[in-house]
Structure 1
């Protein structure tokens, strides 16, 4: 290679240097990629770049040096002498030039050498990503996660409590008749437990806990690691979602026992949070019970008012009826009239018997016979008069009609009195219930104070990640092999 060719290569090398920044110029892997690109079209410049990679004294230097030695072994002894006598950089340029000349002549030996050099460059370029894919895809992520779980991840402690909602039987609150009318007395099965669960996850309770315990400040504390803690500038929705992930509420469908588990970065905070949740849930369920009791009292008061109005109306009608006919008790009046009629019938029967006896010994014109006949006639007239008072309806003063109306009013009055008595009992009991708890939140297990951390579950998480990574690696291997076979 003549001097002009060397100068041309050096000029192109300097232009290549000028086109790169300092980081690229000192990056051996980047330079190896460029050497691979120029290898077919400009082998002399490719060898010049490889010399730069060797001079950087990096992990690729030995591989490049072996390659350059193989290229130099094919050069003439005259060129080797020139390298020893002249400037080292110029000698290297001369070797590359002659190598370029051999490439251009396409000798069989140079072609084999070029193919070998190309393979070396490709190996060097992909040695990190393709040399150990299992390490890059499986082991490296697992090791990073292992370091995080064992060293960086903040411990989280769990406090657990168990509660249940109980309530007295509503049938005992009121009279049986009123309970049937109001529909009360049926005890709900699982609605109260689900209601407590919904309240614990509600925004109202979360805001209350934040006011009382400074919940958001604890969860976003800088003492916790970045992944585990809540962002300081997080939105309300993110805060609520974080709370739901760190407070677990489960309801046993068979026993209706509510289990509450709260997480905190300290065991004391986790216990305090759990206690406050239970206390607030108790307040909430009692408030609902008192509200229901007040609604029940209001209903019974309205029913009692209707019963009072009914009894007043019935009483008024009864008094008007008695005043209209001037009778205190039409039933007693009818009994008296009936007794009089029975006594008159008895006298008539006696007089008729006497009359028969006298007619047997006296004539019909005898004074005694005439007197008895007149007496019998008078009694019969009186009997007709008394009977007409019981049954005669033409004048509207029939005792039977009056008595029938009176009985109707009396029955209405008795029913109203019974309803009033029942309503009065229910009203008094409801007043008592309105001032006491209708539902009770019974604490089955008080909030616990954790001695050991519960999260993160290091062994479980590491095993799970290993399984997932191995599955992904296997799937990727299958896909890669399939594509590789298809592309052949």
Structure 2
């Protein structure tokens, strides 16, 4: 009897105190919802890291060793995370798995599902962000992916799709610019090769027409020849002077020496004329033309060589743009529902409701005291 009176007095107090009555009613409703109405959610979790291939350049140096490969940078990881949570990813998931139908199924409780009046792409994306989280771990440079769905297979499929499409997108984005650079450099190298071939053909044609392999070599040869003839001329002049000292001017020896000296002088003058005559065909003119052609060939060769080196370097950099997702933890196939955490949520709701009700009750009491 005493217990019944106490319980009766408790309910009477609740009836007389509307604030506590509403609090108890709210807790009861939440207990019913979280205890039996809320639909189970399955979570698939995975951990990945984005890496670039380790490719060395032909000319190894310290800088290339530092930047040859390894884990992708922080910016790449953040780009991958943002793409996984983007509207474009939602569109692909809708095309692949019809996630709109899954999240708006009538089997899901009204508060948890995507409601019929919120089926626009924007609302679907907002709902998607509530069920999918991709967190970037600054310390370990990892992405932690958690996907919630209302059955285990869908959660697993969405998680696997996020990883596959994320890797594909990063490769396409990195390769697009690299491919354009390679195409541009290939066209430039082709033009440089044609220029080099034209310059080389002009040099060979000049050599064939002039009969000279090297104008500089020919000038050097002529100069050596002139120097030899001048030395011979000096010797013959000395012999002539010596012969005149004891022979007559009509003696055979003197005549022979005079004849040889005249022939040498004529040959020396002719060779000097060939070196610098104003009419075409002078060796100095040919040498100038040859040097210009040779410089053109050298410049074209160096340009072509630099273009090839740049093309090779760009191709290596294009290969470095490839991204590979290394899976630290494969997407899990949930064996049981992990969400919602019913007991945890109910305890939190009770505590928060109790504190708020207590504060509100105190405020009401203070107001009443001031009125009295």
* TM-score, with structure 1 as normaliser: 0.61
The separation in 1 between residues aligned to 2:124 and 2:47, in whole angstroms, is 25
Q: How many residues align?
A: 354
- TM-aligned CA deviation for residue 340 of structure 1: 1.8
1:170, 1:185 within 8 Å by CA — same for their partners in 2?
Answer: yes
What residue is the counterpart of 1:15 in the other structure?
none
- TM-aligned CA deviation for residue 229 of structure 1: 1.7
What residue is the counterpart of 1:318 in the other structure?
203
Is 1:225–2:109 an aligned residue pair?
yes
What residue is the counterpart of 1:131 in the other structure?
17
Distance verdict in 2 for CA 1:360–1:463, change over 3 Å: farther
- TM-aligned CA deviation for residue 335 of structure 1: 2.9
- TM-aligned CA deviation for residue 214 of structure 1: 2.8
2:203, 2:293 within 8 Å by CA — same for their partners in 1?
Answer: yes
Is 1:246–2:131 an aligned residue pair?
yes
The unaligned stretches of length 5 or more in structure 1 are: 1-125, 177-183
The separation in 1 between residues aligned to 2:271 and 2:73, in whole angstroms, is 69
What residue is the counterpart of 1:476 in the other structure?
360
What residue is the counterpart of 2:63 in the other structure?
none
Superposition pairs for residues 146-157 of structure 1, below 5 Å? 146-157=31-42
SS in 2 for 1:455: coil
Superposition pairs for residues 303-452 of structure 1, below 5 Å? 303-315=188-200, 317-318=202-203, 321-322=206-207, 325=210, 327-359=212-244, 361-362=246-247, 366-390=251-275, 392=276, 394-395=278-279, 397-420=281-304, 423=307, 438-452=322-336
Is 1:159–2:71 an aligned residue pair?
no
2:215, 2:287 within 8 Å by CA — same for their partners in 1?
Answer: yes
What residue is the counterpart of 2:187 in the other structure?
302
Distance verdict in 2 for CA 1:385–1:132, change over 3 Å: same
Superposition pairs for residues 57-96 of structure 1, below 5 Å? none
Larger radius of gyration: 1
2:53, 2:69 within 8 Å by CA — same for their partners in 1?
Answer: no
The separation in 1 between residues aligned to 2:154 and 2:291, in whole angstroms, is 75
What residue is the counterpart of 1:458 in the other structure?
342
Distance verdict in 2 for CA 1:374–1:275, change over 3 Å: same
The separation in 1 between residues aligned to 2:190 and 2:239, in whole angstroms, is 66
| Per-residue deviation, residues 422-476 of structure 1 (Å, max 9, x unmatched) | 6457768988998999332332321112234332233443344345334533543
Superposition pairs for residues 5-24 of structure 1, below 5 Å? none
2:45, 2:147 within 8 Å by CA — same for their partners in 1?
Answer: yes
- TM-aligned CA deviation for residue 409 of structure 1: 2.0
1:293, 1:438 within 8 Å by CA — same for their partners in 2?
Answer: no
Superposition pairs for residues 34-73 of structure 1, below 5 Å? none
- TM-aligned CA deviation for residue 281 of structure 1: 2.3
What residue is the counterpart of 2:90 in the other structure?
206
The unaligned stretches of length 5 or more in structure 2 are: 1-11, 61-66
What residue is the counterpart of 1:277 in the other structure?
162
SS in 2 for 1:249: strand
The separation in 1 between residues aligned to 2:353 and 2:15, in whole angstroms, is 17
The structure, 1 or 2, with the larger RCO (C-alpha pairs under 8 Å, 6+ apart) is 2
SS in 1 for 2:325: strand
SS in 1 for 2:125: helix
What residue is the counterpart of 1:189 in the other structure?
73
SS in 2 for 1:315: helix
- TM-aligned CA deviation for residue 262 of structure 1: 0.7
The separation in 2 between residues aligned to 1:476 and 1:352, in whole angstroms, is 135
Q: Alignment RMSD, CA only?
A: 3.9
- TM-aligned CA deviation for residue 197 of structure 1: 2.0
- TM-aligned CA deviation for residue 254 of structure 1: 4.7
* TM-score, with structure 2 as normaliser: 0.77
